[in-house]
């Protein structure tokens, strides 16, 4: 593989652990040296259903975190919400089962060279990449505030993990079962003002990312987000995950989320395109 995926490898990775955590499954794979190549924001593409399955397309999952356990090799962790047939199949596999996966894929979050005041915002299991990111930012001397939101308490992933590597953690649920009642966008403006936030990192549903970007632009805050577009191959071949992005030259291009993303500058996304090709996009006519 070339370009952004030059470190990616296809391997058969053994499941080390598969535990249900709230509404999700936390799955750990043994991946050897591959773990050293992954960065916060990268994802993994997994073949699901077994050899005789009709589910021929891989499923993409954000990498929760990776770490090296010495002579025993590296581990890669993901968080899975068992919704469709593919994710349900994966969450049903037991430790010892080997899964065909390709990783690490996609772009990673940009890490500042000097300490900054960062706000990390996650929605549901989409918050998974933020935990590894917070550990990296903390090692760089950054102040880190985190907001985790979901529809209900069961869908807030691992809030205790968040507390370990951030200066403050705010939880928000739409039904009020934990934390503040409402949406993450209700609390973001106050945190930006109180803690003088320099940059926002976000992961979660596209509607949430768009709303966060409006707030960031209104307040002149840099916004990096991991976009959620359906990815059929994960390696830039199928062209199913294209999204209109405005480049530094001002030209809008349909770029592949799996290659040019998933982490992008929130201010460059044409959020109101609603899965259409905007007027003025390069190559439209």
The CATH superfamily assigned to 3-105 is: Translation factors (2.40.30.10)
Domain ranges for the chain, please list them.
Answer: 3-105, 109-228, 231-285
DSSP string, 213-281: HHHHHHTT-EEEEE-----SSSSSSS-TTEEEEE-TTS-EEEEETTTT-SEEEGGGB-GGGTTS--TT-
Look at residue 284 in the predicted model and tell me its pLDDT.
73
Look at residue 133 in the predicted model and tell me its pLDDT.
95
CA distance readout (Å), 26 to 93, 106, 162, 230: 12, 21, 15, 21
Asked: is 109-228 a CATH 3.40.50.80 domain? The reply is yes
Look at residue 152 in the predicted model and tell me its pLDDT.
94
Render pLDDT for 118-135 as a digit per residue (tens, 0 to 9).
999 999 988 989 999 999
DSSP string, 258-277: TTT-SEEEGGGB-GGGTTS-
Q: Residues 125, 81: contact at Cβ < 8 Å?
A: yes
Look at residue 2 in the predicted model and tell me its pLDDT.
42
Look at residue 31 in the predicted model and tell me its pLDDT.
95
Look at residue 29 in the predicted model and tell me its pLDDT.
97
112-138 CB burial, b ≥16 within 10 A, e <16: eeeebbbbbbbbbbbbbbbbbbbbbbb
3-state class of 57 per DSSP? coil
- Whether the link from the prior residue into 104 is cis, omega within 30° of 0, is yes
CA distance readout (Å), 268 to 72, 123, 274: 42, 21, 15
Render pLDDT for 22-73 as a digit per residue (tens, 0 to 9).
889 999 999 999 999 999 999 999 999 887 788 888 899 999 999 887 666 8
Parts of the chain with a pLDDT under 70 = 1-4, 70-72, 159-160, 162, 285
Look at residue 71 in the predicted model and tell me its pLDDT.
62
């Amino acid at each position: 593989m070339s370009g952004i995926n030059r470190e990616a490898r296809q391997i058969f990775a053994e499941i080390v652990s598969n535990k249900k955590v709230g509404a999700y499954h936390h799955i750990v794979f043994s991946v050897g040296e591959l773990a050293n190549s992954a960065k916060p924001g990268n994802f993994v593409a997994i073949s699901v259903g077994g050899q005789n399955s009709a589910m021929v397309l891989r499923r993409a999952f954000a990498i929760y975190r990776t770490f090296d356990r010495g002579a025993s090799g590296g581990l890669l962790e993901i968080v899975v919400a068992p919704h469709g047939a593919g994710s349900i199949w994966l969450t049903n596999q037991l430790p010892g089962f080997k899964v065909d996966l390709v990783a690490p894929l996609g772009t990673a979050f940009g890490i500042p060279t000097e300490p900054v005041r960062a706000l990390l915002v996650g929605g549901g299991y989409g918050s998974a990449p933020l935990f590894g990111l917070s550990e990296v930012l903390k090692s760089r001397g950054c102040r880190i505030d985190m907001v985790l939101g979901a529809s209900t308490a069961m869908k807030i992933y691992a809030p205790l993990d968040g507390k370990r590597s951030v200066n403050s953690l705010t939880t928000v649920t739409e039904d009020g079962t934990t934390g503040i009642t409402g949406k993450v966008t209700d609390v973001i403006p106050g945190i930006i003002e109180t803690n003088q936030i320099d940059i926002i990192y976000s992961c979660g549903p596209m509607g949430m990312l768009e709303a966060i970007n409006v707030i960031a632009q209104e307040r002149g805050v840099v916004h990096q987000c991991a976009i959620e577009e359906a990815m059929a191959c994960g390696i830039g071949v199928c062209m199913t995950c294209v999204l209109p992005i405005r480049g530094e030259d001002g030209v809008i291009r349909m770029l592949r989320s799996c290659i040019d993303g998933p982490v992008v500058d929130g201010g460059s996304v044409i959020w109101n395109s609603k899965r259409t090709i905007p007027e003025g996009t390069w190559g439209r006519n």
